[in-house]
Amino acid sequence: MDSATARREPSPHWRATTSRLLLSYGVFFVIWGTLLLGSIYWETTRYLAEHTDRDLTHQIDHLRHVDRAHLAAMLDDYIALEDTSYNAWGLFDAQGRWINGDIVRLPPALKIGGGPIRIEARDIIRQQALPNIGQLHLIAAHLDDGNVLALAHTTGVTAHVGSIIKHALWWGLSFTLVPGLIGGLILNIGPRRRIRQIKLATQAIMHGDLRKRLPVSKRDDEVDRLAAIVNDMLAQIERLMGEVKGVCDNIAHDLRTPLTRLRSQLYRVQQQLGEDDPHQALVERCVADIDEVLGRFRALLRISELEDRHRREGFVAVDLGQTLQHVHELYAPLAEDRQQLLELRTEPGLIVQADPDLLFEAIGNLVANAIKFTPDGGKVTMSATRLAPERARIEVADSGPGIPVEERHAIWQRFYRGEGSRETTGHGLGLSIVAAIAKLHDFELSIDGGEDGTRIGMACAVSPLP
């Protein structure tokens, strides 16, 4: 996964169910609050607009019949008495030419003697008196002398009410969403802690410790009920696995004794037969077959023994370089017999917590397997390198035919033998033992390579650099 994809992924806080519920509630509240306050705003502005239009109609009906000598004074009062809004007036002759007032033109959409209209202030007010407002309610009517009187009233009250409603919406959202988000983060702390505990328990179960159980609190909530169900399932799985394992172990134990006796009897018969006896070869093949069966039983019991996690209690500090050196000394003569080069590459100071005997056995099995499948004159390389301050990799590489990609996962299974290993000796349990040892030590196995060979590695934790 690249960094861009990682950045797009939501944080664990927002993947939590509580956060999603709070987010859904917040979105619902925003939509509902917006609709509610929007309807209030629409009803309020409609009422104020109708009220303004009624006032303008009443005012112009009154002023149109006022004596011309008193009209100017009453219009000045109309302007001066309004201290919260803007009023304007204009006087025009019968042909619509301006005579006096701040309103200097009559828009074509205005019907003389009709109802009020809304218009932009800049379209009718002279520039010297243009206020910092947007729209005006405008009405006009004929006077008794034939002139035209126009009155305008600002929509500022409506805008102010709208501003109050908008502020109420923002404050309401702030006082609801912000505490909700903070509360969601606080509420997520407990569930996330429980999820971490469950994750740790499941990791131990995934590594083979079927005795581990998921933590259950006293709250008996949904998570506890789910954990209880999983624990019951784990108990049944542990019981069934124990029964199957016990049956396999008992079969291996019970059959090993009579097979050992049978081999001893065949061996005595073989000793009594002469070298020229025609039954000598038959008895020898029977002894070899019994030895192969006994070897499989020993390997099965060995794997069963390695799956016991109690062996971790005996882990000690082991130097990977020294362990690989001992394996190299043991298998170097075998490689020389096949004219193979067994190369060793290690770094100093690679210390792991492990069972030294089991670690030696795992690396030895990998080296023996590599030598077996590498042609005469080939090369096998053992290496231990530091990948990070607290991480290292043990690797065994060979120049053999390689392992097909589709078989790489199956080679760790018991008794599995690939198409390329049908003609070689063995019972298909060596790599299963390696897998069991790696699992016991929490090592990460990996296989790569191609037609030019195979590289099998084990990644492990090591002591950090000083």
> For residue range 50-77, what is the model confidence (pLDDT) as tens digits?
887 888 888 888 887 777 777 777 777 7
Q: Which of 242-246, 257-261, 360-364, 459-463 has the lowest mean pLDDT?
A: 242-246
Count CB-CB contacts under 10 A for residue 17.
Answer: 10
Do 278 and 388 sit in the same domain of this protein?
no
Q: Are 299 and 427 in contact (CB under 8 A)?
A: yes
pLDDT exceeds 70 at position 243: no
Tokens of 343: 């190369």
Q: What angle do CA 238, 239, 240 make, to 5 degrees?
A: 95
With b meaning 16 or more CB within 10 Å and e meaning fewer, what string describes 247-279?
ebeeebeeebeeeeeebeebeeebeeeeeeeee
Domain boundary among 259, 289, 306: 306
Residue 217 inside a domain? The answer is no
**Beta carbons within 10 angstroms of residue 192's beta carbon:** 15
pLDDT over 90 percentage in the chain: 9
Residue-wise pLDDT for 284-332, tens only, equals: 888 777 777 776 666 666 666 655 555 666 688 999 999 999 999 999 9
CA distance 238 to 279: 49
Question: Tell me, what's the pLDDT at 6?
Answer: 43
Tokens 């933590």 correspond to 215
The token duo for 4 is: 């861009």
Task: Count up the domains in the chain and report the number.
Answer: 3
Q: How much is the pLDDT for 7? A: 47
When comparing pLDDT for 118 and 155, which is higher?
118
Instruction: Tell me the residue range of the domain where 177 lies.
Output: 10-206
Q: Are residues 185 and 250 in the same domain?
A: no
Kindly state whether residues 226 and 345 are assigned to the same domain: no
Q: What are phi and psi of 111, to 5 degrees?
A: -100, 120
Count of CB atoms situated within 10 Å of the CB of 299: 19
Between 177 and 1, residue with greater pLDDT:
177
| Residue 229 shares a structural domain with residue 288 | yes
Q: Are residues 323 and 186 in the same domain?
A: no
CA torsion sign for 392, 394, 400, 406 is: negative
Does the global pTM surpass 0.85? Answer: no
Q: How far is CA 357 from CA 239, 353, 455, in A?
A: 30, 12, 23
- 292 found inside a domain: yes
Q: Is 318 helix (H, G, I), strand (E, B) or coil?
A: strand
pLDDT at 326: 92
Secondary structure percentages of the chain, helix, strand, coil, to 5 = 60, 15, 25
155 in the same domain as 53: yes
Q: Are residues 232 and 120 in the same domain?
A: no
Please tell me whether residue 109 adopts helix, strand or coil conformation: coil
Give the H/E segment covering residue 47. Answer: helix 17-63
pLDDT average, residue stretch 236-246: 72
Same domain assignment for residues 365 and 442: yes
Residue 216 lies in a domain: no
Q: At what angle do helices 280-306 and 430-441 cross, to 10 degrees?
A: 10
Q: How confident is residue 203, by pLDDT bands cut at 50, 70 and 90?
A: confident
Residue 256 has pLDDT above 70, yes or no: no
Examine residue 299 and state whether it is found in any structural domain, yes or no.
yes
